[in-house]
Structure 1
Amino acid sequence: MEFSLQEQAFIELNKLLKLLNIAESGGYANQMIINGEVYLNNKIETRKRCKLKPGDTVSISNTEITIYIKH
């Protein structure tokens, strides 16, 4: 799966999970991150508001999301 930043420079990790309906709510997204269920570039990420930039890859369960800029 891919996510385009379009006009923004970054997106926060918890907002991405909610926006893509991976998490039912922002609170649930935060809990998934705190519990160590989310990986950023193959490392566990526990910062809820971590800024994702082009080239980053987020993995959770069987889902992998690559961040890019749409030109």
Structure 2
Amino acid sequence: MQHEEFALDKEYIALNDLLKVCGVVDSGGAGKALVASGAVSVDGAQELRKTCKIRPGQTVSGEGFEIRVTAAA
């Protein structure tokens, strides 16, 4: 399983963009498709909103990956 910590330097990042930036998917479109398929959870709950705002303190997970979002120093 891929465990990653992502330091966010702004208020939030769209879920599909986070998946792309962290290398879970190759493109934003692939990120949207992955979220739409129901394969992504935010803080343990299934998330179907492709551009859901992810903020520091949240954890995004799915099959084979987990991303903890932290605030950039």
Where on the TM-score scale, by shorter chain, does this alignment land: which range?
Answer: over 0.9
Q: Look up the equivalent residue of 2:31 and give its one-letter code.
A: A
Measured in 1, the distance between the counterparts of 2:48 and 2:8 equals: 22
Cα RMSD (Å): 0.8
Q: What is the Cα deviation at residue 5 of structure 1?
A: 0.6
Aligned counterpart for 1:12 among listed residues 8, 14, 25: 14
Q: Number of residues paired by the alignment? A: 70
TM-score (norm 1): 0.93
Measured in 1, the distance between the counterparts of 2:62 and 2:22 equals: 12
TM-score (norm 2): 0.90
What SS does structure 2 have at the residue aligned with 1:14?
Answer: helix
Structure 2's unaligned 5+ residue stretches are: none
Q: Look up the equivalent residue of 2:65 and give its one-letter code.
A: T
After TM superposition, the runs of 4+ consecutive aligned structure 1 residues lying more than 3 A away are none
